[in-house]
Chains A and B, each alone.
Chain A
């Protein structure tokens, strides 16, 4: 039993004690939960974007011809929603892959899965940090533009 607790991911020369193993397992559990939640939320958002966009288009077409020149707006909203959902799914895929590969690495002592898992989490943080940096820059500009 004690041997199982400190099993080696031997190819990496990596020794994980019970505590670090538990932390990694818990992080995989929570990231899996979060990523599934975001996938569901993204799907709902896409659905609302498509249905809402179609309804907006038909509502605009019912208006007088004077308003027809803004009918491109619904298409723009749809493209924007698809873009946001695509970014969400891409970012989230890496979080999900971290969870999957970490669980499998801890269960099977597979060092390759362990490295893929850490790499996925790194990619997740790279993308979210760059996006946060861009958002911060826009907020900062907005703060002084007002």
Chain B
């Protein structure tokens, strides 16, 4: 009971100082990555952290992740770059696969830029949430990474193995079902 009151008091105090949420979340985000022990790059001016993770057992597929304080949109964004220059002939299939994901995902979305030929997957939450509940930073980074594994797997099958988006989705569903069993 006392613990709950203390927590609520802490939140109330934070709400009084809501103007500083950007700085506070940015400091907490840096602290979280420092404590994680991973190698990462910090961009103070732009307020983002760049980190690379391997996504396969052989440690051969490495993707770039960005955790960003978006001051304009007042949000904490986690982005993974799936493709930084896809083959324009595959644009139709890429859009189909992205729309499958976007209709199925309850968190985050896949963004396809056909002009720049890029694909990325983004998680976004209002800054107020990680400002009030610091654990949300860990949750967002962790969930985004786990989720990205399936999405990168699916897009690699399209981009590298030239498979049909429908079959990729069917196989992904099977994969997830087996994992949940």
Check if A and B associate.
no
Residues of A within 8 A of B (CB): none
Binding site for A on B (CB under 8 A): none
